[in-house]
Amino acid sequence: MIPVRGVNGARVAVLGLGRSGLSAARALRAGGAEVLPWDDNEAARAAAEAEGFAPADLTRAGALEGAAALILSPGIPHLYPAPNPVVAAAWAAGVPVDNDIGLFFRSFATEAWESFDSPPKVIAVTGSNGKSTTAALIHHVLAASGRDSQLAGNIGRGVLDIDPPGEGGAVVLELSSYQTELARALTPDIAVFTNLSADHLDRHGGLGGYFAAKRRLFAEGGPDRAVIGVDEDEGRFLANQMAEGPGDDRVIRVSAEAKLAGPGWSVFARKGFLAEWRKGRQVASIDLRGVPGLPGAHNHQNACAAYAAARCLGIGPREIERAFNDFAGLPHRSQLVAEAGGVRFVNDSKATNAASAARALAAFPRIRWICGGLEKEGGLGALTPHFGHVAKAYVIGREAAGFALHLRDLPHELCTTMAAAVARAAEEAEAGEVVLLAPAAASFDQYDNFEKRGEDFIAEVARVLQR
């Protein structure tokens, strides 16, 4: 645990008692704070009580009187589409609002670091798509090279649940826009931006607000190194904002679409080969085509970002290459779950928006595509250029007919349920094809989360193959 610093004797309110909220409550208590925890969910309050916390109803008038801060869980809106009433009450009372990420960054360094020859490093990864894989891959490379590394944030453990790192240790954080937009302290040593596509637009008041939330990690975080994907205008803008000139190697530009030129530092992938260039010369390359845990151009972009971050930490190209080849990938992200009769079954349930699903469609030449669910803002236009890879779509979800309207002339079948979609896709698939779950939609119309949806796909694939 990372005890929160500077709160001894203070009254600190915590709204939302899920993983991050309860973790924050524990760390605040360890730092000597009087914690005022609350959650509208009775089961969450009971879990807090079981750990010795006394819930305090923050929705009642005057509940924040005397509070030094309000710590907000990431799922609770603080501005758009409308402020949570407790947040509005904190504004009115002049109580600062923060989150567990802000607490982490202000509490991470301790007096013990003064005796370290090599202080711990924080690598923070954000972006729309690929941030989980990129963060996990960086962590894997560090561990494979013998570095003490911990993975936390939006993946793995809560940021305040990790162990205080020792000399030369590293903490790899995956940070969502919900986390970066509110944190009052953001000071990573290395910040990584993968890409940007329309997502969570209601939460951020539009695409500009969404990008602004991501940008805070760089503009307010002041990292020593910035690894920035430049395949969209937002990334190109951010790289330009961070660099002092063309040769500023504090900014490492990353691409999976183009060869990057110039006197600076860049890492890009073309036709399955990763190349590192510095000062106008190629200094290293890796063949990614046979790396089983990183299929497709979208994963090659993740590999480039992870490679750049690892190079910033002094890890050599050959060490990184060996670690890449040992990387198993993450569940629900281009996860190969079975192969039978020359047909592969791939679970990419995490492809919850059009841009991430488009990357999945681009990764395979001939696809039986399982798609559908709760549509997000931003539309499905990003998918259209990749329809040529799709032999047929099998649409799931309560609004399958509405989703199917976006497929235009693409052959498709309304299946509604995962069981029906997997059965039909498996029945019609031919050798060399991929049955791919890449929904391009949220899961909440039928499942609690994308993990449950992916698990259902895996179970149905197993059931079909056992027949």
* Per-position pLDDT tens, the chain of length 467: 999 999 999 999 999 999 999 999 999 999 999 999 999 999 999 999 999 999 999 999 999 999 999 999 999 999 999 999 999 999 999 999 999 999 999 999 988 898 899 999 999 999 998 999 999 999 999 999 999 999 999 887 899 999 999 999 999 999 999 999 999 999 999 999 999 988 888 999 999 999 999 999 999 889 999 999 999 999 999 999 999 999 999 999 999 999 998 899 999 999 999 999 999 999 999 999 989 889 888 899 999 999 999 999 999 999 999 999 999 888 898 888 999 999 999 999 999 989 889 989 998 999 999 999 998 877 788 899 999 999 999 999 999 999 999 998 999 999 999 999 999 999 999 999 999 999 999 999 999 999 999 999 999 999 999 97
420: enclosing H helix or E strand: helix 418-428
- For the purposes of burial, counting CB atoms within 10 Å of the CB of 74, is it exposed (0-12), middle (13-18) or buried (19 or more)? buried
Which backbone phi and psi does 239 adopt, to 5 degrees?
Answer: -60, -40
Cα 285 to Cα 269: distance, rounded to the nearest angstrom: 9
User: Could you give the count of Cα atoms lying within 13 Å of 67 in the half-sphere of its Cβ?
Assistant: 28
The separation between CA 387 and the C-alpha centre of its own chain, rounded to angstroms, equals 26
C-alpha torsion angle, residues 128, 129, 130, 135 (rounded to 10): 20
Domain extents for the chain? 11-98, 103-326, 335-465
Specify the pairing of strand 281-287 against strand 273-278.
antiparallel
Q: Edge-to-edge strand order for the sheet containing 281-287? A: 149-153, 170-174, 121-126, 190-193, 225-229, 251-255, 265-270, 273-278, 281-287
Q: Which residues are annotated as a binding site for ATP?
A: 127-133
Beta strands 273-278 and 265-270 are antiparallel
Q: What is the pLDDT of residue 457?
A: 98
Q: Are 87 and 76 in contact (CB under 8 A)?
A: yes
Give me the amino acid identity at 265. W
Q: Residue ranges of the alpha helices (H) in 331-417?
A: 354-362, 400-404
Annotated binding site: 127-133
**pLDDT in the model for residue 72:** 98
Query: What b-and-e string marks burial along 441-466, b requiring 16 or more CB atoms within 10 Å of the CB?
Result: bbbeebbeebeebbbbbbebbeebbe
DSSP 119: -
CATH superfamily to which 11-98 belongs = NAD(P)-binding Rossmann-like Domain (3.40.50.720)
Dihedral sign, CA of 300, 305, 306, 312?
A: positive
Cβ neighbors of 377 (< 8 A, separation 6 or more) are 198, 201, 202
- Domain 103-326: assigned CATH number: 3.40.1190.10
Q: In angstroms, what CA-CA distances link 194 with 186, 302, 312?
A: 18, 7, 16
> Distance between CA atoms of 169 and 344, rounded to whole angstroms?
39
Which class is 335-465 in CATH? alpha beta
What's the one-letter identity of residue 176? S
At 330 the pLDDT is 83
Residue 77 confidence (pLDDT): 93
**Identity of residue 199:** D
Closest listed residue to residue 51, CA positions, set 102, 12, 17? 17
Predicted local distance difference test score (pLDDT) of residue 421: 98
- Rounded CA separation 379/360 (Å): 17
